[in-house]
């Protein structure tokens, strides 16, 4: 069961600072705007709000690296479906998890169960984090407050950091390469497979034009409290206007 929790914790993640000065806010929004331009355009990023994404990777659980394939259907602001195929001890499993507004469920080996309150809250946090990482809402929505974190090194990148705050959600920190303004890291608090709070960082690299006119990270590494948790490679991205409602329907 811990392996199942670990997969959903990591993949659901494929987020009110009083006293921020107007000058600082403008500085942050300038960085965000440059980050959007570095990826392609605002129009292209908006299209990613409703998408079908496929990938593969490994997850480290109890000292073991487990391989998996995954696909995710997203429809902002509050719909998400995750399908993961993996094996444990030569046994194949398919895990399906859906969040649809204020409700959710998961199915494994034909058994369907509703998500509990804590699982729904974590899913809500993950969806908000992905919304933050998509950048566009940070320029449009007044509910997001921005403040500068200064410059810091992330791997080989000298970066500019921005803290994103939204009332009722955990803070998310974004780090942009100072020269290219490509997003190279996000960081926030989250729960590990043991449901213990950890500092979770996501490192983005190998950007590719998987959507015409838009660069997306081909690789994402997730570390919990500085320890490797998941490596995910994105293999395919398709944007759609709207998913069929049956995608999120409970079996």
pLDDT band at residue 161 under the 50/70/90 scheme: very high
Residue 210 burial (C-beta neighbours within 10 Å; 0-12, 13-18, 19+): middle
CA dist 131 and 123 (Å) reads: 12
- Tokens encoding 241: 């206007």
- Least confident piece of the model among 86-90, 115-119, 121-125, 158-162: 86-90
Give dist(CA 142, CA 144) in Å, integer: 5
Helix (H, G, I), strand (E, B) or coil at 193: coil
Does residue 120 have a pLDDT over 70?
Answer: yes
pTM: 0.87
The length of the chain in residues reads 251
- In this predicted model, what pLDDT tens digit does every residue of 171-227 receive, in sequence order? 999 999 999 999 999 999 988 878 889 999 999 999 999 999 999 999 999 999 999
Q: Closest by alpha carbon to 77, among 144, 116, 130?
A: 130
Neighbours of 54 (CB within 10 A): 16
Mean pLDDT of the region 26-38: 94
CATH architecture of the domain with range 2-248: Clam (2.50)
DSSP per-residue codes, 26-91: HHHHHHHHHHHHHHS-HHHHHHTTEEEEEEEEEEEETTEEEEEEEEEEEETTTEEEEEEEEEETTE
What share of the chain has pLDDT > 90, as a percent?
Answer: 68
Residue 232 has pLDDT above 70, yes or no: yes
């Amino acid at each position: 069961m811990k392996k199942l929790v670990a997969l959903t914790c990591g993949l659901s993640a494929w987020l009110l600072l009083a006293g921020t000065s107007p000058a600082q806010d403008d500085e942050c929004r300038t960085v965000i705007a440059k980050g959007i331009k570095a990826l392609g355009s605002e129009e292209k990023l908006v299209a990613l709000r409703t998408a079908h994404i496929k990938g593969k990777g490994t997850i480290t659980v109890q000292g073991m690296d487990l391989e998996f394939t995954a696909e995710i259907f997203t429809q902002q602001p509050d719909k998400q479906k995750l399908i993961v195929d993996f094996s444990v001890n030569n046994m194949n499993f398919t895990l399906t998890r859906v969040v649809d507004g204020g409700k959710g469920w998961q199915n494994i080996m034909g058994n369907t169960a509703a998500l509990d309150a804590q699982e729904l809250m974590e899913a809500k946090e993950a969806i908000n984090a992905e919304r933050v990482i998509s950048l566009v809402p940070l320029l449009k929505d007044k509910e997001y407050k921005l403040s500068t974190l200064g410059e810091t090194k992330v791997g080989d990148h000298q970066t500019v950091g921005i803290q994103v705050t939204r009332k009722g959600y955990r803070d998310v920190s974004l780090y942009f390469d100072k020269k290219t303004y490509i997003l190279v890291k996000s960081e926030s608090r989250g729960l590990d497979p043991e449901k213990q709070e950890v500092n979770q960082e996501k490192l983005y690299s190998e950007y590719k034009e998987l959507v015409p006119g838009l660069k997306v990270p081909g690789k994402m590494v997730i570390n919990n409290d500085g320890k490797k948790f998941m490596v995910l490679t994105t293999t395919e991205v398709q944007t759609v206007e709207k998913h069929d409602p049956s995608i999120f329907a409970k079996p």
